[in-house]
Amino acid sequence: MDPMSSEVPALDLGEKRSSTAKVMDILKVLAEDPLGAVGVTELASRAQLSKSTVHRILQELLVADSVEQVENQYILAPWLVSQLNPRDTNRSRELRELLTPFLGQIYALTQQTTHLAVLNGLEVLYLNKLTGRDPLASPSRAGGRAPTYCTGVGKVLLAYNPNAANAVLNSHLIPWTPHTITSPEQLKQELVEIRETGFGYDREEIRPGLTCIAAPIHGKQSTVAALSISGQAGKFNHAEYAGVLESVCAAASRALKI
């Protein structure tokens, strides 16, 4: 091998591990990533393996239906997420079963990527996702997590949960993109607007080029979940989908109160 090869450091760090250990390290990176989607270069860096090794293992995992490819990134397969995810409580499963039909309604009417999410601590937990036809795929996945303050569903859920909102507002807001809101005062004002309008937005705040509109689902005593519609920034018109989202979320809220 060429001693000047850029992959030598990764080989020195990780290539002496067993094949099983390498596979587990890759799966661990995918499971722990906040968005759940990671490219080969990032996987190689975080798992301390060469890119060629990571690529080979990913191809084997694809054949085994253990991972899925989203553009140039990889995510855990839904069945594996359900096995690994300790957050998949009985309540989460119940909400997923009850609310997924409403998620399907939105998808049928819009053909856009839709999400069903709940608050899990100070993070968003995606209970389900239907991928649309938009050329810019969302890197999120069912069972995956994301920060609340830079996602549409997350901000909606914070707006109706004062305790979680206060905790997030008093934390360090890490910028995920140049558009991420990192000012507590600005985020606080946006939460006020969500309560006034019923809609929350992600304007390229967690991934460049990706935008969404979200709305709450209210249970008998509290806001229990949120639905969102995502699309490509510059082409996605929030107002175009607001009516559909509002109508379906209202129907879902009524169903939970029966």
Mean pLDDT of 75-104: 75
187-212 confidence digits (pLDDT tens):
999 999 999 999 999 999 998 989 99
Taking alpha carbons only, the member of 164, 168, 162, 221 closest to residue 192 is 162
Residue 77: pLDDT band (50, 70, 90) is: confident
- What is the reported pLDDT for 16? 66
Other Cβ atoms less than 10 A from the Cβ of 24: the count is 13
Q: Report how far residue 231's alpha carbon sits from residue 250's, in angstroms, rounded to the nearest whole number.
A: 22
Task: Work out the end-to-end distance of the chain between its first and last CA atoms, rounded to an integer number of angstroms.
Answer: 67
20-46 confidence digits (pLDDT tens):
889 988 888 887 765 567 889 989 988
251 vs 121, residue with greater confidence: 251
Q: Is the pTM of this model over 0.85?
A: no
Q: Do residues 50 and 25 lie in contact, with contact meaning Cβ atoms separated by under 8 Å? A: no
Residue 169: pLDDT band (50, 70, 90) is: very high
Percentage of residues of the chain with pLDDT beyond 90? 44
In this structure, of 107-116, 133-142, 216-225, the range with the lowest mean pLDDT score is 133-142
Using the predicted structure, report yes or no on whether residue 120 has a pLDDT greater than 80: yes
- What is the reported pLDDT for 35? 59
Q: Report how far residue 182's alpha carbon sits from residue 257's, in angstroms, rounded to the nearest whole number.
A: 36
Mean pLDDT of 153-181: 93
Using the predicted structure, report yes or no on whether residue 70 has a pLDDT greater than 60: yes
- What is the reported pLDDT for 135? 60
Using the predicted structure, report yes or no on whether residue 2 has a pLDDT greater than 70: no
Q: Report how far residue 114's alpha carbon sits from residue 117's, in angstroms, rounded to the nearest whole number.
A: 10
Residue 1: pLDDT band (50, 70, 90) is: very low
Distances (CA, A) of 233 to 66, 86, 91, 168, 230: 31, 33, 34, 26, 9
Place of tokens 């270069």: 41
Using the predicted structure, report yes or no on whether residue 12 has a pLDDT greater than 50: no
84 vs 62, residue with greater confidence: 62
Q: Do residues 165 and 159 lie in contact, with contact meaning Cβ atoms separated by under 8 Å? A: yes
Q: Do residues 114 and 101 lie in contact, with contact meaning Cβ atoms separated by under 8 Å? A: no
> Domains (ranges, CATH) in the chain?
19-83 (1.10.10.10), 86-256 (3.30.450.40)
Taking alpha carbons only, the member of 80, 18, 20, 14 closest to residue 52 is 14
Q: Report how far residue 53's alpha carbon sits from residue 48's, in angstroms, rounded to the nearest whole number.
A: 10
Question: What is the number of alpha carbons within 13 Å of residue 188 lying toward its C-beta?
Answer: 10
Residue 10: pLDDT band (50, 70, 90) is: very low
Q: Report how far residue 234's alpha carbon sits from residue 254's, in angstroms, rounded to the nearest whole number.
A: 34
